[in-house]
Amino acid sequence: MFQLTELPLSDNTSRRSAEAFLLSQGLRLEASLDIFLVALRDDEIVACGGMTENVLKCLAVREDERGEGLLTLIVSRLISIAAERGYSETLLFTKPQYRRQFEDLGYTIEAEAPKAVLMTSNPLRMMTLKKDIENFRRQSLAGFKEQESAPRSGVIVMNADPPTLGHKALISYAVDRCDMLFIFLTCNPSSFLPEDQRDEIVLSMAESIKQEKGRDLNVMIVNDPFTLSADTFPTYFIKECSEVAETEMRLNLDLFRRVHIPFTRAAVRFVGSEPFDPLTRRYNELMRELLPIEIDELPRVGGISASAVRRRPLLPVAHTVSWKAFSALISKYLREALLAELDLTPKPGLVDKLDSGAHADMNYNTMLHGIEAISNSPIITLSTFFYSRLSCRMTFEQRKEHIKRNLNALIEETLSATSGVNTHKGFIFAAMCVVVGLGLKAANDTEHYIGPVTPEGLQKAIKEAAAYASADPASHGTRACKRYKTGGALAMAQSGYEPLFSHWLPLWRQTHDEHRLLLTIMSQLDDTCLLHRGGKKALTWAKQQAREALEDLSPERLARMNEAFVCRGLSPGGSADMFALTRFIDKLV
């Protein structure tokens, strides 16, 4: 008898066992597997299979065990797990010589290449897409008179993650050259921007292009589940990297030939040229070789690359993305910075994954609600655009009043999301200084746009924004500043967050040690949250605790520190804000 069980690949011993078995079958362990099943006989692996999302991978049965139904058993179990995850189908890649085995299990061919085939358990799934495209074509054709020539359909397939002005240029090029345009956007489980945001930005691009050109063109945006991505494509049975890339491209194009062209009746596919990347250049060559339609290639717009936007800080490449994409990226980086602070565990006196620290009125979920309110609010994500375009028409006092209203409105939005609990008031003020400062900088530029910004330029922009701000006399921080004659949030902003740029940001980039960053900030910052809760003695004590903890960053030391802060009712909220702001600015410059 055998036993079917999940093998935890996070365990080194289990991983080595999986690797050894697959190697004996001429395969490699796929790095992206999120589940891996094995059939054991006498504690030895005799068959296995894994899955990423809904893509079956690393299926193998030892030769002397074939014919025992082990493959059917493993595939059936993986299909059940996929159904539990909400997937109505599973995909798998295999060598061409094994396609018959999987056809016997109910899979059908979806795409073929010399070294691999892609198979699906649900060939009817594409009928939904076909019906949607047919409805779109029918509505589009209603606008053409019978005597006119048949409308020319064009297709663009793009990842657009995130959308750049290069993608906009390609759409603009296509709009001039066809009567009906289908823009297929790849589906990618690990996308940089959420797919709904990406789709909305691309649709907005297309609509603005149509208006600029005065073209009554029908454009359909399609989330394309049929285009392969690096998340799904396997490397476990193809040995050479060059063969992996070639096979993936050929499968991709065979899928396009089988699905996209018949559904859209496309006459032309629009692509951007690639003078630098040899893989993309080879992909364009294969398109001409394998696809039975025209390939219209637009020379790449110089210096614009979505991969560069993903890899680099935002501000040096901000001029390559649209305003909506810029706002979506600001939202993304705000959320990531705030989540990094919240998830850092353990922390002294602050809310984290283990406890609520010294806070009786909030917990992890309360903080999450605040984070979502901040990162999703158009008040902050669109502030840069507003101040770049409209603030140049305002007087100093008008700007000051408008910034104050926006700041208060965002605080009220957050308080509403947290049932009145003040989770992030200090961070909101700091983040508004950053985005408003960027807008004011752009307003002073001739093109009213975010050009490349240096750290020094960002500091200067923050100082300009802070000149329009004023302290809230009713806040605990302002009262603490007045009582103990120290600076506070406003003074920090007016300095352009000098210690952040001169010390905390370089420290983070050198170490990428989150606890060291937080404790360093605590050891240096005159945290008004601590002053409010415990006065100067509490602040001095907390700084000393942070300095001592920097000598011993063990989890035990940090846990004891948290207990001491909780016992004294102290929470270094200002330090937490500066931690999150450091992480946010790290993504900008």
Span 57-116, pLDDT tens digits: 889 899 888 888 899 999 999 999 999 999 888 998 888 888 898 999 999 998 898 888
Q: Where are the beta strands (DSSP E) in 164-233?
A: 180-186, 218-224
Percent helix, strand and coil across the chain, each rounded to 5? 55, 10, 30
Strand partners, 48: 38, 60
- CA distances from residue 93 to 254, 260, 286, 473 in whole angstroms, order as listed: 14, 20, 21, 65
**Mean pLDDT of all residues in 172-197:** 89
Query: Model confidence at 589, in pLDDT bands (50, 70, 90)?
Result: very high
Q: How far apart are CA 392 and CA 386, in angstroms?
A: 10
Which of the residue ranges 93-107, 193-207, 247-261, 564-578 has the most confident prediction, judged by mean pLDDT? Answer: 564-578
Query: Residue 465 carries which side chain, given as an amino acid letter?
Result: A
- CA distances from residue 493 to 101, 269, 346, 461, 575 in whole angstroms, order as listed: 66, 50, 28, 10, 14
What's the mean pLDDT when you consider all of the chain? 89
**Mean pLDDT of all residues in 42-58:** 90
Query: Residue 571 carries which side chain, given as an amino acid letter?
Result: S
Range from 255-264, 333-342, 577-586 carrying the lowest mean pLDDT: 255-264
Q: Which long-range contacts (CB under 8 A, 24 or more apart) does 394-398 make?
A: 396/468
Token readout for 355 is 């406890």
User: What are 493-509's pLDDT values in tens digits?
Assistant: 999 999 999 999 999 99
- CA distances from residue 15 to 25, 26, 38, 571 in whole angstroms, order as listed: 16, 16, 12, 42
Confidence (pLDDT) at 472: 77
Q: Where are the beta strands (DSSP E) in 141-215?
A: 153-158, 180-186
Range from 223-237, 255-269, 302-316, 367-381 carrying the lowest mean pLDDT: 223-237
Q: Where are the beta strands (DSSP E) in 102-173?
A: 108-113, 116-120, 153-158
3-state SS, residue 496: coil
Backbone phi, psi, residue 119, to 5°:
-125, 155
CB 269, CB 294: distance < 8 Å:
yes
- Give pTM, 2 decimals: 0.87
CB 48, CB 21: distance < 8 Å:
yes
Range from 36-40, 303-307, 329-333 carrying the lowest mean pLDDT: 303-307
CB 125, CB 152: distance < 8 Å:
no
User: What are 352-406's pLDDT values in tens digits?
Assistant: 999 999 999 999 999 999 999 999 999 998 888 888 877 677 888 988 998 999 9
Query: Model confidence at 147, in pLDDT bands (50, 70, 90)?
Result: very low
Please count the other Cβ atoms lying within 10 Å of the Cβ belonging to residue 451. Answer: 14
What does DSSP say about strands 91-94 and 35-41: parallel, antiparallel, or unpaired?
unpaired
Q: How far apart are CA 143 and CA 139, in angstroms?
A: 7
Q: Is the pLDDT of residue 17 over 80?
A: yes
Share of the chain above pLDDT 70, in %: 94
By C-alpha distance, which of 127, 120, 130 is closest to 87?
Answer: 120
3-state SS, residue 454: coil
CB 438, CB 372: distance < 8 Å:
no
Q: How far apart are CA 556 and CA 576, in angstroms?
A: 20
CB 283, CB 246: distance < 8 Å:
no
By C-alpha distance, which of 272, 184, 270 is closest to 229?
Answer: 184
CB 232, CB 194: distance < 8 Å:
no
Query: Model confidence at 574, in pLDDT bands (50, 70, 90)?
Result: very high
Q: Which residues contact 337 (CB under 8 A, 6 or more apart)?
A: 580, 581, 583, 584, 587
Query: Residue 232 carries which side chain, given as an amino acid letter?
Result: T
Q: Is the pLDDT of residue 25 over 90?
A: no
Residue 39 vs residue 224, higher pLDDT: 39
CB 349, CB 572: distance < 8 Å:
yes
Q: How far apart are CA 532 and CA 219, in angstroms?
A: 57
